[in-house]
Amino acid sequence: MTTLRFLLHHSLRAKRIKLAVGASCEVCGYAGVLEDLEVHSFLEAAEDRYSVADLEQFLLILCNRCHSEIHTYAISIQEQEALIRGRPEPIRENIRAILAYVPKPYTPPEVDMEDAYREASAPHTRY
């Protein structure tokens, strides 16, 4: 799976990107429920040349109708890029931060499972 597809299929990350643009379509302004919005991308082959945060310049948040129209009428890449360039810089920075976020690895504490079981099953009654 490509990096961009990996990012777009993580529902929490996609939700945060949708919220970053005001939970509305960047073409028509439709502001329904988040499930009615899609993260549209127009970068396919050259994707590996960009850092994850730089993928922001290839993403649009669209309602179902506008997303369908972009594909049906083959809206040019230049027109899609113009929509993204019109995005306010704070929103662009927020999306870049969402895309670049890497959670810290989780290291479980070292615990002796037998001791933990004895502790959990021991009576904890005070008299």
Please check whether residue 59 is in contact with residue 71, taking contact to mean a CB–CB distance below 8 angstroms. Answer: no
Residues 6+ away with beta carbon under 8 Å from 76:
none
Q: What is the pLDDT of residue 49?
A: 75
Q: What is the pLDDT of residue 7?
A: 60
- Residue written as token pair 């050259």: 46
Q: Please give the full DSSP string across 22-84, using - where no structure is assigned.
A: TSS-TTT-----GGGEEEEE---TTGGGS-TGGGGGGEEEEEHHHHHHHHHTT--HHHHHHHH
- Please give the chain's pLDDT, 127 residues, in tens: 455 666 656 788 889 999 999 999 998 999 988 889 988 888 765 566 777 777 888 889 999 999 998 888 888 888 888 989 999 999 999 999 998 888 888 887 787 888 888 888 888 766 6
Q: What is the pLDDT of residue 117?
A: 84
